Structure 1
């Protein structure tokens, strides 16, 4: 895969920061947008801008076709069985909260169990924590191994006949761990529980097949996969979504409104109240086209190779601590430099034109497990190269010397 050629598709990357060519290594927070996505949204606003599902005029019809066409692309991209299983949301956070707020209370009571892990992003942690507090359910955690991995054996030991919901990230946004989702789905289903998957860090980087994984719900965001901010997806099995109540009420999602009661539209519209995220869906559809043209297998292969290269280069730096497994297939390396605060590391790197993330990464329980208040994180995507990693490694050495 020619990453230098791919980089030319991203206008924002062709600039200097503090007098240095930009090296963007913060794609786990948000990925950059290719020109095709920017142009698709621009075209929508210039030519097709209208509300969907309502008007019979030409602009309304074109907008509806674009919006529903994006839904079809998403369904194909993750291999959903039908488009009705694709609900557009504001992002992963909203999607997970829909499940926790609508499905959760209908199945949970005092003494029932919700099973998660300590590696979860707050978006896949707090909704279940608060749901447990509201319902009297017990929140349980699958233990992490010393390198941060989750084993099938520990999942078997944690999930019981009292478990009603298992919620877990496909990929950790801190340690780069890839969890055994398919096996955990099997365990959950054998105990009568459903599996909710946070796919924010997996969907941009590998081929996802929700039918093969057999997860019951799967959530992800557009902005981490070259799409715009403000658009995300909740996939749910049709049988589950049909019995769930909407949690946001208003226009678009109704069938009939009476004085004292109302009925809702069919799937997926009962969960899409108000004017939908039309331009965002158009942009997400364009991002899917872009990623599929390059090939998800090619992207995953590139990241695996570059992650190995990054682990090798950074491991050579004296006094660096790298968190998570040494071998990984996702291009994400979280670390700390001895005696240097991660925010200082990020600040010095920025002065050299290198963008990384520093902080707790919305994973405070995991930070406590790692015995670190915060960490630095370099995250790789399809537009990064070995030269980017070389510049990162050299700048880290300089940072270490600066604070010595």
Structure 2
């Protein structure tokens, strides 16, 4: 018996969306080991053809979106506003980041949200009869980005689900979901991908030589997206690395004017990018602190990050690492709550001057 609501959760790049999509496809008739839930070959072929383009009438996607450019304040924003962009991104594969999705929507400084109108549209669609007579599947990517009104309406749907309906929630921060929602779903924790599996995939699918693939797989730490990003010299993490180095150097030299310019640069980014940058900064603080223990198997850095760490790691120590991490976490939280970015990042920069001297 299939539970009416499942929550797939795990770290970025672990494959939880891919798993949810595969399960949704099976529920809607795609063959697995030659077996299908549908009764005849014609229906199976029809379902598989529609699923190949993610256009099955009984598969309903919900995901964070921005307000479309040029739309009026009266426009009720739903996932359907970006359905073409969503299917185009899915067509490239089930592994992608929020940054890639924001780029597909051509977002600038907006934050992506699942709005109240989405739950209304979902309620309407799921209460209709199944188009092909089987399951109806609602797949919600990053449900933690629902606003509170949308979350409460989804809760009602989960409490009184329409007939033959399965909800698949794919979350990276399940703790941000309403407790009442978490209590009504069956949770599946998807673990990081094993390093040997990433290494083999890099060799067989990307044509990487064995030594390079081994290092990239170790650095990826179970995140397939990170492994793929390492192949792209223009990746966002390369930008974040340069910004981290700039911050630390100017903070050590107490270059207030330079830190002010650094702050102005960061403040011009969208909030989504600012928050991803802070997560990357936390990663580098952790890696530099662990580097002091001289145990390479505990570190997950690129060659460039390692080279920088050889001279910088000694400045991250037991006297400042906890406060530094807490400072970055507070800034990440406050930016997510629409705090003024110039004030937040200048405060971060000034505090780094103090912390690096400990």
TM-score normalized by the length of structure 2: 0.30
Q: Which has the higher contact order (CA 8 A, sep 6+)?
A: 1
TM-score normalized by the length of structure 1: 0.27
User: Which structure has greater strand proportion?
Assistant: 1
